[in-house]
Structure 1
Amino acid sequence: MMTKHTLAILVNDQPGVLQRVCGLFGRRGFNIDSISVGGTEESGISRMTVVTTGDERTLEQVQKQLYKLIDVIQIHSISSKPMVSRELALIKIEAESSKRPEILGIVETFRASVIDVGPKHMIIQAVGDCSKLDAIIELLHPYGIVELSYTGATAMIRGS
């Protein structure tokens, strides 16, 4: 059965690691829904958070292949554990002055924030899980979304 999986992959911070990891997913016929990469508490180590969809057997094979890559240190499949996951969306919308109070109501409801205001547009920053971002985008759509940019998910297991 095809399900969504979130992998936390610790890698050496070296040129080409991202390309090799992505290439491995592609060769296995596994699509990457989102990927985010950043530093960790340890210098020289990066953390990749990869969200993908597939069956358990294929995921297991991908993990075995990832461990063969020299710069992969550790892989955790965290989607089956209690976790915290966040994405960031920047949403530029048409915002004539008469519509701004309505827009601000939506922004407040979602605990989002207005990070830029121009004569005809506003840029809204929203942080949350995928369903929260989808919901605010759906509500802002009637006002006219001019531009939209998402980050990939970043996630951690809750607790210790």
Structure 2
Amino acid sequence: MSEISASAESGAERLLDAAAALIAAAPFCWLATPGEGGSVSARPMGRLSPHPRKTNWTLSFVTDGRSRKSVELRHADRVTLVFDGATRSQFAALSGVAKICAGRDEVESRWRPDFDQYFPTRADRQNAVFVDVAADRMELWIKGVTPEPFGMRTTVLLREADGRWRML
């Protein structure tokens, strides 16, 4: 491995570590999907996944399969998740393909008792689905990690077919 590629790889790892820390600390994010007539729909979501490095950058959510969000997800090729750090100097936008995971066995295997508050009736629970978003692109603004001046330039990471990330 050349010095240039080793340096680029360590830079990508530093960015991935910073993005993972931001995401792991954020209880919520915004999920943006293509909406009707070319519009964009965005809504806050509570992330369910453990640390993103442990899930190979697949982030999961639970939602109602009858919702407008679910309809949009069924028609979406790609979605974007936007995370905002508590310090207001950390932001990450992850894009990827969303997959709806439904079916009684799938939902029961992933169900946690704290979801009952959002799905209080049996009918609600029967319509619950999980959404997995496999990130393949990141746009990062993380003060002290991404290039200065902060916020003036987007740092982009792309996932290669072999699963490795590279900086654009």
TM-score, normalised to structure 2, is 0.30
User: Larger relative contact order (C-alpha < 8 A, sep ≥ 6)?
Assistant: 1
Q: TM-score, normalised by structure 1?
A: 0.31
Q: Which has the higher strand share?
A: 1
